[in-house]
Amino acid sequence: MELLNRFLRYVACPTTSDEASEACPSTEGQRVLGRLLVEELTAMGARDAHMDEHGYVYAVIPANRPERGPVIGFIAHMDTSPDCSGENIRASVVAYEGGDVLLNAERQLVLSAEEFRILKNHIGKHLVVTDGTTLLGADDKAGIAEIMTMAETLLHTGRPHGEVRIAFTPDEEIGRGADKFDVEKFGCDFAYTADGGTLGELEYENFNAASATLTVHGTNIHPGSAKDKMKNAITMAMEFHALLPADQTPEKTEGYEGFFHLCDMSGTVEEAKLSYIIRDHDRAKFEEKKALFAAAAATLNAKYGEGCFEAAVRDSYYNMKEQILPHMEIIDRAKSAMEKAGMTPKTVPIRGGTDGARLSYMGLPCPNLCTGGENYHGRFEFIPVEDMERCAEMLVNLACDR
């Protein structure tokens, strides 16, 4: 029950990150949650629990067995996705017996069993849901609650374990979670992010990722006399988008398939701006996608005039698989911990990224563990209480593994 209470406390703190902000963390709510976590860690007896000047929370659970083993880290992020509102979250617990779940009687909002067929796997469990107007925040406050429950278990039960270190990061959802992470201070041999979804999933492959922007410069002429003079930046931008592969978009890909995703578009006849993300698990295909983006701009510059299309591409993170393969024993540890908690481990590629992807390239091997949630980043997000409990047990097993 304390795990559930923790989770409900944490989701009540609005912590949506803000890409437009230059601050770290990008929103003050993340500091509010960080201070709460420091207070709770200190009260339960963790050592050196503190929040640094950048809003990162760190703490140590000292070893209570004589033999020295590896120092293991556990990491989760405090922010929630800006893809959906995280303000005034109204969470409730439903004993699920099948069928649709009524989230909001006033607005007749339901979690549809037909639309979300994963629900059938959770009959007989207690689901934490929203009222259908906000996200829930299980990504990643479930991970935080599970790590905190692990910490309390280690500190209060006397179960033998090695040294464990904990970190909670800001701004993971906007790609900045590892920006100011102090790997040296963290002092771990390896770590795990608790930032996954469905029970049993274990991830050590993720997308190579880049952000890309296109700026189109047009020429505005009165439409009555525009023939052979006007360059409409909006329609030119549409022409650019049509040069990208139509079958390589998020809604048409799965598994290891990469994509171009148009996230935002705005403009006038004079100027248009398009924002994309580019993703692929395969590094060579990733580089090909970036080259294709630049080549499309070059093709249209040849047609409309040099400088009409400005393409800028910036790498965000890379596939952690390259860094994990030399350390597969940490994957074996995770599989064993899952099995002891009654899970069936399933290694799957992340169709996204985690703090662990960048941390692995910063010298801290860091695969990703399930937290039990479903439908992240949307109004129909939910998480079974029983699955959170299994995940917390998995973390304890990992900490106590010799």
pLDDT tens for 165-180 read 999 999 999 989 999 9
Q: How many CA atoms lie within 13 A of 138 on its CB side?
A: 30
**Cis bond leading into 245, ω under 30°?**
no
**CA 396 to CA 70: how far, in whole Å?**
15
Active site residue 2: no
Distance between CA atoms of residues 198 and 369, nearest Å: 10
pLDDT per residue as tens digits for the range 345-380: 999 998 887 789 999 999 999 999 999 999 999 999
Sign of CA dihedral 75, 77, 83, 88: positive
Residues in the chain: 402
> What are 256-305's pLDDT values in tens digits?
999 999 999 999 999 999 999 999 999 999 999 999 999 999 999 999 99
Q: Assign domain 2-206+319-400 to its CATH superfamily.
A: Zn peptidases (3.40.630.10)
Cβ neighbors of 115 (< 8 A, separation 6 or more) are none
Note the pLDDT tens digit of each residue in 313-355.
Answer: 999 889 999 999 999 999 999 999 999 999 999 999 988 877 8
Question: Tell me, what's the pLDDT at 113?
Answer: 97
CA angle 21, 27, 30 (to 5 degrees): 145
172 is catalytic: yes
Backbone phi and psi for residue 16, each to the nearest 5 degrees, phi listed first: -60, 130
pLDDT (average), residues 308-314:
97
CATH of 209-315, one of 3.20.20.10, 3.30.70.1060, 3.20.20.150, 3.30.70.360: 3.30.70.360
CA-derived radius of gyration, the chain:
23
pLDDT in tens, 70-99: 999 999 999 999 999 999 999 999 999 999
| % of the chain at pLDDT higher than 70 | 100
Give strand ranges (E) for 16-158. 47-51, 57-61, 72-77, 92-95, 101-104, 109-111, 126-129
249 neighbors 259 (Cβ within 8 angstroms): yes
Predicted TM-score of the model (pTM): 0.89
Q: Is the pLDDT of residue 68 over 90?
A: no
Q: 164-174 burial, b if ≥16 CB within 10 A, otherwise e?
A: bbbbbbbbbbb
Place of tokens 């209480």: 385
Mean pLDDT of 131-150: 97
**Confidence tier at 402 by pLDDT (50, 70, 90):** confident
Name the active-site residue from 40, 79, 201, 393: 79
- Work out the mean pLDDT of the chain and round it to a whole number: 96
Rounded to whole angstroms, the Cα distance separating 352 from 359 reads: 15
Instruction: Report how far residue 241's alpha carbon sits from residue 236's, in angstroms, rounded to the nearest whole number.
Output: 9
Catalytic residue among 172, 195, 205, 393: 172
Q: What's the confidence (pLDDT) of residue 80? A: 97
DSSP string over 327-350: GTHHHHHHHHHHHHTT---EE--B
When pLDDT is cut at 50, 70 and 90, the band that residue 214 belongs to is very high
Nearest-angstrom CA–CA distance, 289 and 259: 8
Domain boundaries defined on the chain: 2-206+319-400, 209-315
Residue 353 has what pLDDT?
77
Residue range 136-154: mean pLDDT, rounded: 98
- pLDDT at position 74 is 98
CA 107 to chain centre: 29
Is the torsion defined by CA of 169, 170, 173, 179 positive or negative?
negative
